[in-house]
Amino acid sequence: MTPGGTGLGPAGTRVSLAGLTTLGLGGPAEVLELADQHDLPLLADKLTRVGVRPVSLGSGSNVLIADAGVQAPVLLIRTRGIEVESVGPDRVRLVVQAGHSLPDLVEFAVAEQLIGIETLAGVPGTVGAMPIQNVGAYGQETADTLTHVTAWDWHRRRLVRLSRAECALGHRTSRFKGSNRWTILEVGFELERSTLSAPIHYSEVASALGVELGRRLPVPEVVAAVLAIRAIKGMVLEPADCDGRSVGSVFLSTPVSGRQAEWLRGRGASPHTYPDGTTRVGASWLLRDAGYRLGQRLAPGVRVSTKQYTLVAEHGATASRFGAAAAAMQRHVAEVTGVALTFEPDLVGDDVTFADLLPHPRRPLR
């Protein structure tokens, strides 16, 4: 407990962040723990008085932290809980604490016969991260069911409630991406009550289930198919998996022009049109076309996964080496295909190699 009994972690504690991320990389920072969202205003007052804003960290599954660590305090979001409210005969509203596990939320929804997030099964992370990058997988994304976000606004120094429109959700992005203005505390969703899944819109899932696109099946069957697909790709975090130290997808599916899309189709790619209206090509196809191989070693402790075209860390890896390997991949893919890959994970801390990366477009603090 910090002085005054706020429920936060010990003041001044500086620990390695490596063990708090799925990559197992990153240097030290002063760490505070938030177990009750009602403690945040007191913490905010203390930090504001000394002129600092914290970096929020959930499960660390989509972040690359500098080897030198982070100068700002790191706030570990450890809140948990789900509030349930019926809003109609077949509609249910959930308000979920930001620190709640996303896999646990999906499991809860499936058990309660609530649909709309079932294809997010197996995605690591916390609920608070969902609106930040509009988490999505296999035809569903956070924007489909999100109703609002409750957050602490460090600029206005108060709690705010943002509607779905105000969150500015896009393809793996939002108003929150790349900004330390907000600490997300709660996320609201509205789900449909049904024993059948939402219509299946992702061809890989439909193929695995042996059905046509648009079909609806018992939710457990769809969840099982999604988990099986993720396991084949090494996208289910397993401690014993040699490809387990990863951040999932290192690069976003890249937006391309109409001319680029036609050229890429001629080379065998399959660009898709996304809900935001953009046409994008998968990073995996671009990396394979550029000559990268599964399991290929790129730097000491850094290699391509043996299961899919993403990067994983091994013994000897550092954040600098990981970032440098990713930047080299970006340059090579651009030279071969003319398409610029965008680095997806959040970059935290100062590292000269991070400057070489093409990160997700950052929004200015407001």
pLDDT (tens digit per residue) in 171-222:
899 999 989 999 999 999 999 999 999 999 999 999 999 999 999 999 999 9
Q: Residue 225: pLDDT band by 50, 70, 90 thresholds?
A: very high
pLDDT (tens digit per residue) in 296-351:
999 999 999 999 999 999 999 999 999 999 999 999 999 999 899 999 999 999 89
State the catalytic residues: 172, 249, 344
Q: Which CATH class is domain 82-232?
A: alpha beta
Q: Residue 353: pLDDT band by 50, 70, 90 thresholds?
A: confident
Q: What is the pLDDT of residue 238?
A: 76
In this prediction, residues 123-135 reach a mean pLDDT of 96
Assess whether pLDDT exceeds 60 at residue 163.
Answer: yes
Full-model pTM: 0.91
DSSP state of 201: -
Q: Of residues 163 and 257, which shows the higher confidence score?
A: 163
Q: What is the pLDDT of residue 8?
A: 44
The domain spans of the chain are 14-77, 82-232, 254-356
- What are the residues whose beta carbons fall under 8 Å from the beta carbon of 107, sequence distance 6 or more? 121
Q: Residue 233: pLDDT band by 50, 70, 90 thresholds?
A: confident
**Percentage with pLDDT > 70 across the chain:** 95
The answer to which of 168-182, 270-284, 289-303 has the lowest mean pLDDT is 270-284
Computed from CA positions of residues 205, 209, 212, 214, in that sequence, does the dihedral angle turn out positive or negative? negative
Same fold for the pair 14-77 and 254-356? no
State the average pLDDT for the chain. 91
Q: What is the pLDDT of residue 365?
A: 32
Residue 244's identity, in one-letter code, is G
Assess whether pLDDT exceeds 90 at residue 361.
Answer: no
Check if the beta carbon of residue 105 is closer than 8 Å to that of residue 84: no
Write the CATH number of the domain with boundaries 254-356: 3.90.78.10
Distances (CA, A) of 206 to 114, 139, 203, 223: 20, 11, 5, 12
pLDDT (tens digit per residue) in 142-153:
999 999 999 999
Computed from CA positions of residues 168, 169, 173, 177, in that sequence, does the dihedral angle turn out positive or negative? positive
Q: What is the pLDDT of residue 363?
A: 39
pLDDT (tens digit per residue) in 10-41:
455 689 999 999 999 999 999 999 999 999 99
Q: Which CATH fold would you assign to the domain 14-77? A: 3.30.43
In this prediction, residues 62-79 reach a mean pLDDT of 96
Cα end-to-end span (Å), the chain: 32
Q: What is the pLDDT of residue 240?
A: 78
Q: What is the pLDDT of residue 11?
A: 52
Q: What is the pLDDT of residue 127?
A: 98
DSSP state of 116: S
- What are the residues whose beta carbons fall under 8 Å from the beta carbon of 255, sequence distance 6 or more? 171, 278, 279, 280
